[in-house]
Structure 1
């Protein structure tokens, strides 16, 4: 199972062992499921950067891709159509290479200071791609975490350990049925 993402997946400020992908691995192990998490989170990563390193990330066979990219595109105000094209290409190439792999998309929100048109367009990318690729969708990865100071580091952007635990709960709710189905196949 590949987590392709940003500093949120990498565990910026808390370390990879406390990041939500590591917490997902703990849940997988506790449930006795036959999956191994590969954390390909990279601080500062944009959708373009994720696309550039996709081939390297897909070297090993994967059963599940959790795509967590787009947050840094939004923070930098990069064009939404470019982000969508990059994410689309990541999903297309993954599906082409591993047709049976399950896809999970972690949606993000753009900062409100970029204007309502930008934030609306940004928000629509993730569900549209989930429909196109029949992927599972986590509508907003940071739901219940982003606006809660006690769940974030001092920068107000990156989750602390408690924030990662909350994210892992939300991801697990979406991921567990996907993993169970994969075992039954």
Structure 2
């Protein structure tokens, strides 16, 4: 990604963050509504759970266009004994995710892809809190399914709250991945962030074409784990 492209991405991310703060109460209602619609897994196949926010949920897209569904199609085409579950929820923070994950873990999990934190950063939540919540989610997965493989997806935020905060936020993911011996996706929006034609009008959320790129990138990391 070029510096100009990433700067554009950060601008839209900051703008979206302001909108997120204004609509926080509405997002909470959405979380409660969507939580009741999460699918149950009734299958003998191993299960890959994508757990996160609007990036995983496929904001404003059909679920079939979001990258978890695309990866699910790849898994099926290769005849692998896995099933993909999209447990993404728009507006999710690490705190709300930490509460919701208990419900998600009632179902079988063999591979758990964790993508949360961007909404924390946009709201200026202390990085210590974000780290604590992400660690709690990881601990809950490990305690419930000790053999499950965990993949942590990294994110970056604009320096509107100061470069020190942005830098500290960026280090959350590699440090947690190393601490917990989990696989790391350095930046989940790599190759898509800051490229207008690969994002919706908000400049943040990927288009169907953008999700195809995410799927290709993430599959390259996920495939060796299966």
TM range (shorter): over 0.9
**1:163 and 2:210 equivalent?**
yes
Tell me which residue corresponds to 2:130.
83
Give SS of 1:37's match.
strand
What is the aligned residue count? Answer: 179
Runs of 4+ with deviation above 6 angstroms: none
| 1:126 corresponds to 2:173 | yes
Counterpart of 1:141? 188
Quick check: 1:73 aligned with 2:128? no
Q: Which residue of structure 1 lines up, in the alignment, with residue 162 of structure 2? A: 115
Alpha-carbon deviations, 1:108-153, whole Å to 9, x = none?
0012322210111101110111111111100000011111111000
Q: Residue 101 of structure 2 aligns with which residue?
A: 54
Partners of 1:139 and 1:132 in 2: CA distance: 15
Residue 182 (structure 1) aligns with: none
Q: Which runs of 5+ in 1 are unaligned?
A: 180-185
Partner residue of 1:31 out of 75, 78, 84: 78
Aligned with 2:83: secondary structure?
coil
The TM-score normalised by the length of structure 1 is: 0.95
Give the structure 2 partner of residue 3 of structure 1.
50
Secondary structure at the aligned position of 2:222 is classed as helix
Instruction: Output the CA distance in 2 between the equivalents of 1:32 and 1:135.
Output: 25
Question: TM-score of the superposition, structure 2-length normalised?
Answer: 0.78
C-alpha distance in 2, partners of 1:114/1:24?
35
Equivalent-residue separation in structure 2 for 1:169 and 1:155 (angstroms)? 23
Does residue 186 of structure 2 align to residue 153 of structure 1? no
Question: Does residue 1:103 correspond to 2:150, yes or no?
Answer: yes
For the residues of structure 2 that align with 1:86 and 1:67, how far apart are their CA atoms? 12
Residue 16 of structure 1 deviates from its aligned partner by 1.1
Secondary structure, aligned partner of 1:155? coil
Instruction: Indicate yes or no: 2:67 matched with 1:15.
Output: no
Structure whose CA Rg is larger: 2
RMSD: 0.8
